[in-house]
Amino acid sequence: MSSICTVVFSQTIFKAKIIDASTKEPIEGASIRCADAHCSCGCTTSATGEFQMKCTDCKKLTVSYIGYTPQVISVASPVQLISLFQQQSLMQEVVVSANRGEAVKRAEAPIAISVLNQRTIRETKPITADQVLNKVSGVNMVNLGNEQHQMSIRQPMTTKSLFLYLEDGIPVRTTGVFNHNALLEMNMAATKNIEVIKGPSSSLYGSEAIGGVVNFITIAPTAIPVLKVSAQGNNLGYKRADLQSSITKGKWGFALSGYYADKRNSFMEYTDYHKGTFTARADYRFSNKTTLSNSLTWLKYYSDMPSGVDSIMFATRSFVSPQTFTYRKVDALRYRSTLTQNWNERSKTTASLIYRDNTIGQNPAYRIKDDYKRVNGVWKGNKELAHGEENASRFKSYAFIGQHKQSFDWLNAVAIGGVSVDLSPSDYKAQYIRIKKDTLSRKYVSYQNTDSVLTDYTTLINNYAAFANLEFSPLEKLRVVASLRYDLFHYEFNNHLMPSAFSGSPDTVNNFQRLSPKIGATYNFSPRIGIYANYSEGFVPPQVTEMYTGVKVPYLNPSIFYNYEVGGWVEVIKNKLSADASAYRLRGTNEIVSVKLDDGSFANQNAGKTLHQGIELGVNATPIKDLSFRFSGAYSKHEFVEYVEKGVKYNGNEMNNAPNWLYNTEVWYKPSYVKGLRVGAEVQHVGEYFVDPQNTATYKGYNVLNLRAGYQWKGVEVWMNLLNATDNYYSYITSKSAFGYSYQLAEPRSVMVGVSYDFANLVKR
């Protein structure tokens, strides 16, 4: 149906614009129908959220859209703007990551996918992404301080390239240069929703989509002018200011969102940081069928880089850092231009051009090694000398993604196919530094640059891919989804130094290719209960650093993962109690490990096999109108099947940093007698886990309580978040190596206070 509907002998003309009550974005495809069952008047909104109806006997109209609470409006009291509110019901969730950016009902996606919607983000007021992502069952994003992080989704807490991070369906970084801190490059002020796909999704999104895919969906230009400013700060030295602005004028739509964060003199010595980021978007609508969307995200980030504390410091609660000069800084620029052509209601083509420019420079604490050490039982070396390095990694990307969607009458089928090309030249350089250590304070107090270049190389990383996705319904309640993707990687390595023990491998060319399938199905017994099952494969090509940092280039193949999964969802009591669950078995093969050779040196080889199994559960309840409850939990077990690294065998052991139990539960109270008030409590639990692959020691895990409260009156909102309310002393992640224990200290109790001013909500309409 079109956005203009006509009934013969019409007298009354009714027109309006429908928007999302929270984001103020127009809602395309919303349904408007006459409330009289005997009348056939009806239409849908255009891409701008507008509609126009001509009616004879219509007195009331019903406005509805999937995932929103329907509204009934009177024709006799016309309005220009209709705001729809998102529903909390799991059964009505709409997801866009399930089949490459095309919105589908959650109940038609045979995968474990969770949505963190705008309401959740707005009420949580997160200053780091983990504060919302950890609400998803089976997700444990590890806070390493100052927005740095590790991730755990169907994998142990790890820095490995087993997770894919997207922005509007496009990878934030190129394949082969994975960085576990990639989410610090995201602009949370520009984020509307976050979708998390758990399990391998290489058939749709390519490599690194193993444990999970996290897709940050950004704010689009709004249907009405928006200007919102906010400021917040806490007792640990953190301060932040946000800006959101948007306007649509004629065929143009503009949106600008960003924030600046700064932290100084926190509870832990040498943990200052600052970050500035903004996202600018400009959309142009050539017609109702053709649009051009342009988005640019800029980031500048700097952080001190302390190391984890040792056992003595952890036991004595010492907040002193041995580092005084280590740092990490990131400069990132991402640009996307997407042309969308809606040929008709059944046919749609999109083409995107992508450019990335990313530099990470660091003087890493983890590279510092004391000169004074034990050699064959005897201590040797200079106690006042240590060794380290400064390094910088940079890549640029020139990419194209094109895809076409076609719907068919045959079995209600939908086909999506496309191609992508990513050309990403990258370079890496590392220089040796001499470090002075104070033997009394045990601090590394200064360093001296040298002429010794450790590493200096460039790598041209080319990724060519083709993908296809087919959905159809052989039975009324059965939906089958199958996808297939072919990837070809071409690495051209050029070493700017003469090959040596320090400078790495000789010039070489390596190619990797992989065909990744996935097939699944959903069966909905009724609109309130459904099940799904899928089989999928995922892969990870060797990272550049795994290939070219040794004396010679190892022969490596992509790591392959095989996943079997079942799950389901049920609405026990309509709009009051719902649940979803999933169970998976994920087998990893050809994982890259460091192997000790006969001459005593080490080299990377495909020699690892692992097994990951688990059950995930989510429950949402609204027992009474003013009270809502959520539980997200997971039990998992991660094992070494065949794993020998550096001459040590781990076969049959549990993987380190892999807690069996994870859960996050939350309750919100929003009294109807005080409109705009909310009070919430959240508990995060991370269970006990082994801290070393030998399984000789464990960390007990932790529980942390967070309290949140906010009040909104018209366009003014104030909030207070009391994080770690019981002032629990714990470590975000604990590990053990030959050098001893390392604890990543969690932040003590903090009180975050903020205020925002939304000018759009102050305007009467």
Q: State pLDDT tens for residues 36-87.
A: 767 777 788 877 788 877 766 777 888 888 778 888 887 776 677 888 887 7
Cβ-based neighbours of 758, under 8 Å, separated by 6 or more: 226, 227, 228, 715, 716, 717
Whole-number Cα distances in Å, 245 to 53, 188, 293: 31, 14, 17
Let me know whether 99 and 129 are in one domain.
yes
pLDDT of the residue at 8: 39
pLDDT > 80? residue 642? yes
Distance CA 443, CA 365 (A): 12
**How many domains does the structure of the chain reveal?**
3
> Which pLDDT score, from 0 to 100, does residue 599 have?
56
**AA letter at 402:** G
Q: Which of 84, 106, 127 finishes a domain?
A: 84
Model confidence over 725-750: pLDDT tens digits?
999 999 999 999 888 899 999 999 99
Confidence at residue 17, expressed as pLDDT on a 0 to 100 scale? 84
Do 48 and 122 fall into the same domain? no
Residues 224 and 149 in one domain: no
Q: Per-residue pLDDT for 7 more than 50?
A: no
**108 in the same domain as 41:** no
Q: Are residues 201 and 306 in the same domain?
A: no
The pLDDT of residue 12 is 66
When mean pLDDT is compared over 507-511, 533-537, 543-547, 600-604, the highest value belongs to: 533-537
d(Cα 198, Cα 582) in Å, to the nearest integer? 10
Beta strands 577-596 and 602-624: pairing type?
antiparallel
Residues 244/211, Cβ–Cβ less than 8 Å:
no
Residues 575-606: tens digit of each pLDDT: 899 999 999 999 999 888 766 556 555 677 87
Share of residues in the chain with pLDDT > 90 (%): 69
pLDDT of residue 37: 67
Cα–Cα distance measured from residue 640 to residue 678, given in angstroms and rounded to the nearest whole number: 45
Mean pLDDT, residues 157-163: 93
Residue 117 token pair: 């919607």
CATH of the domain at 168: 2.170.130.10
pLDDT category of residue 527 using cuts at 50, 70 and 90: confident
Least confident range from 385-394, 419-428, 553-562, 716-725: namely: 553-562
H and E: helices and strands count for the chain: 5, 48
pLDDT, position 763: 47
Asked whether residue 550 falls in the same domain as residue 619, the answer is: yes
Strand 385-407 relative to strand 378-380: parallel, antiparallel, unpaired?
A: unpaired
Q: What is the largest CA-CA distance in the chain?
A: 101
Would you place residue 100 in the very low, low, confident or very high pLDDT band (cuts 50, 70, 90)? confident
Indicate if 207 and 236 belong to the same structural domain.
Answer: no
455: domain CATH number?
2.40.170.20
Q: In this structure, are residues 244 and 219 in contact, taking their beta carbons and an 8 Å threshold?
A: yes
pLDDT value of residue 4: 44
Task: Please report the pLDDT score of residue 593 as a whole number.
Answer: 79
Domain shared by 429 and 531, yes or no:
yes
The pLDDT assigned to 2 comes to: 44
- One DSSP character per residue, 602-616 reads EEEEEEEEEEEEEEE
Q: Supply the pLDDT for residue 89.
A: 61
What CATH code is carried by the domain that includes residue 29?
A: 2.60.40.1120
- First-to-last alpha carbon distance for the chain, in angstroms, is 28
In the predicted model, what is the mean pLDDT of residues 80-99? 73
Same domain, 232 and 168: no
Per-residue pLDDT of 204-235, as tens digits, reads 898 999 999 999 999 999 988 999 999 999 99
In this predicted structure, the answer to whether residue 518 has a pLDDT above a threshold of 80 is: yes
pLDDT given at position 223: 87
Q: Which of 84, 117, 141 is the last residue of a domain?
A: 84
Residue 524 sits in the same domain as residue 600: yes
Q: What is the pLDDT of residue 9?
A: 38
The neighbour count for residue 557, using CB atoms within 10 Å, is: 15
pLDDT tens digits, one per residue of 647-656: 888 999 999 9
Assess whether pLDDT exceeds 60 at residue 663.
yes
- C-alpha distances in angstroms, 450 versus 109, 210, 430, 454, 534? 56, 41, 11, 11, 55
685 contacts 705 by C-beta, under 8 angstroms: no
Give me the mean pLDDT over the 131-147 stretch. 96
Same domain, 428 and 531: yes
**What's the pLDDT score for residue 78?**
65
- Tell me which of 33, 57, 84 is where a domain ends: 84
pLDDT at residue number 693 = 92
Average pLDDT over residues 241-257: 94
Task: Assign 475 a pLDDT band (cuts: 50, 70, 90).
Answer: very high
Side chain identity at residue 644, one-letter code? V
Per-residue burial over 617-644, b if 16 or more Cβ lie within 10 Å, else e, is bbbbbbeeeeebebbbbbbbebbbbebb
Q: Would you say residue 509 has pLDDT above 90? A: yes
Confidence (pLDDT) at 583: 98
Domain membership of residue 165 as a residue range: 90-217
Average pLDDT over residues 267-284: 96
pLDDT tens digits, 678-717: 999 999 999 999 999 999 999 999 999 999 999 999 889 9
- Residue 97: its pLDDT value, please? 77
Kindly list the distances between the CA atom of residue 408 and the CA atoms of 12, 100, 414, 469, 473, in Å, as whole numbers in the listed order.
36, 18, 6, 14, 11
User: Do 319 and 201 reside in the same domain of the chain?
Assistant: no
pLDDT score of 92: 58
pTM of the predicted model, to two decimals? 0.93
